[in-house]
Structure 1
Amino acid sequence: MTDDQTLADTTPPAAHESPAGGVFGDPTAAPLQPPTVRRQWSIADILAEARVPERYARVCLRADLEADHERILTELRTLIDVEGNIIEAEDASLGEETNTARAHRLNDELEQIKADMAKATWWPRFRGMTSDEFAVFNKEHYPKKDGASLEDYNNQLVAATMHEPQVTPDEVAALRKKLGMKAMSNLIVKATEVNTQGGVDVPKSPSSLQNLTRQ
């Protein structure tokens, strides 16, 4: 079994870089300011309202389709220039498939593969523990010896935080025997994130959705 030391690093990837005014809004815009009149939250209010973070993982169970997806994308890149126009071969023989026809055929194949991958995508939901619960969990399951494998710890973590569906550590171990490293890493990262990241901040909506409130 592959050691899980590399999966312990849950540093999130670099933020998506989108041009100003793109679908994710203008990154140079000033942050939202707090309201002029702030609600005074009592501890009782907070205890009644607060929720632990929850997140979904995205796992395509048909990872074999990714090979066909990449093959078609690679072939399409040879048919299209930097401006997105199809490059027609000047010396194409009579009756030979044109680059335009070939590009459309490949695009149809790509759309079918994407549809098949979507049908085979699993969206397990993870729910974090409270800070006290997570401290107790780590004390019980985290390896005491430096450099020890994190495989059992990660199995326990995924089982403890996967909420829909609920799984046991043995079932997580069974998933390891079937899923690839990328899929398992995704499950472990999401299980870690709901306990170490996230919170109750209101997420920023894409600018395309924000515009609906102005219409």
Structure 2
Amino acid sequence: MSDTSQFDAILAQAKLPERTVPLCLREDLVAEYERLDNELLGAPRTASSLGEVAPATVIARRMEELRKEMLAHQVQFLLRAWPARRFTVLRDAMPKKADDQSDDEFADVWHAAVCDLVSKMLVEPKATAEQVAELADRLAESQWLALSNAAWDINARGQAIPFSVAASAILGSAETK
């Protein structure tokens, strides 16, 4: 009989992939921030008198307030993949366009199926497919794609071991001190 303890150790390490998708639900704040960022480029950096604050400083302060407000309205959606065989069943059950189905009818059926997929991958916050559909109706396409693509990709694409240039630089400079 062969020794399978090494494989047992591998099995003990195996965890399903997880991914967090942060979404700011107040895109109006993002738009104001971007407008101010453009305004900042041409704003004077010096005040016109000693008792005043430079226009660039006023804009930068408002941008920081907006950034904090956006963070307060940011939701972290935690997704977890399903085991391969279970996801394959779900993937294979995704709707296919019937010959007698209009594009609009199929789009509605497909959207409902994607909402179901997202709800099944959501770990936190938990949501029903109907709640996910309601959320999708309140998101911009870019936000919806970030969430729905992550739910699909966490199952269908491999994930490389992440690397952060910023973290590496911080650690490199800390080690030289």
TMscore range, shorter length: 0.7 to 0.9
List aligned pairs for 1:193-212, cutoff 5 A: 193-199=153-159, 202-205=161-164, 206-211=167-172, 212=174
Q: Which segment is superposed worse, 45-54 or 204-213?
A: 204-213
Q: CA deviation at 1:170?
A: 0.8
CA shift digits 1:54-94 (9 cap, x unpaired)? 000011011111121011011111237xxxxx4x7xxxxx7
Q: CA deviation at 1:166?
A: 1.3
Residue 64 of structure 1 aligns to a residue whose secondary structure is helix
Residue 127 of structure 2 aligns with which residue?
167
Residue 63 of structure 2 aligns with which residue?
110
Letter in 2 for 1:203: P
Aligned length: 162
Is 1:61 equivalent to 2:57 in the alignment? no
Letter in 2 for 1:128: A
- Residues in 2 aligned to 1:71 and 1:192: alpha-carbon distance in whole angstroms: 33
Q: CA deviation at 1:198?
A: 3.8
Contact preservation (8 Å) 1:57, 1:186: yes
Aligned-residue sequence identity (percent) comes to 27
Q: Which segment is superposed worse, 155-164 or 185-194?
A: 185-194
CA shift digits 1:108-166 (9 cap, x unpaired)? 111100110011100010000111111011122x1222774231221011011011111
Residue 95 of structure 2 aligns to a residue whose secondary structure is coil
Higher helix share: 2
Consecutive unaligned residues of structure 1, counting only runs of 5 or more, are 1-39, 81-85, 89-93
Residue 124 of structure 1 aligns to a residue whose secondary structure is strand
Residue 137 of structure 2 aligns with which residue?
177
Residue 27 of structure 2 aligns to a residue whose secondary structure is coil
Aligned-residue CA RMSD in angstroms? Answer: 2.8
Residue 58 of structure 1 aligns to a residue whose secondary structure is strand
Residue 52 of structure 1 aligns with which residue?
16
Change in 2 beyond 3 A, CA 1:214/1:189: farther
Residue 54 of structure 2 aligns to a residue whose secondary structure is helix
* Higher RCO (C-alpha 8 Å, min separation 6): 1
- Residues in 1 aligned to 2:6 and 2:121: alpha-carbon distance in whole angstroms: 29
Consecutive unaligned residues of structure 2, counting only runs of 5 or more, are none
TM-score of the pair, normalised by structure 2: 0.78
Is 1:145 equivalent to 2:62 in the alignment? no
Residue 57 of structure 1 aligns to a residue whose secondary structure is strand
List aligned pairs for 1:1-215, cutoff 5 A: 42-79=6-43, 86=45, 101-140=54-93, 142-145=94-97, 148-149=106-107, 150-199=110-159, 202-205=161-164, 206-211=167-172, 212=174
- Residues in 1 aligned to 2:118 and 2:152: alpha-carbon distance in whole angstroms: 8
Letter in 2 for 1:207: S
Contact preservation (8 Å) 1:53, 1:198: no
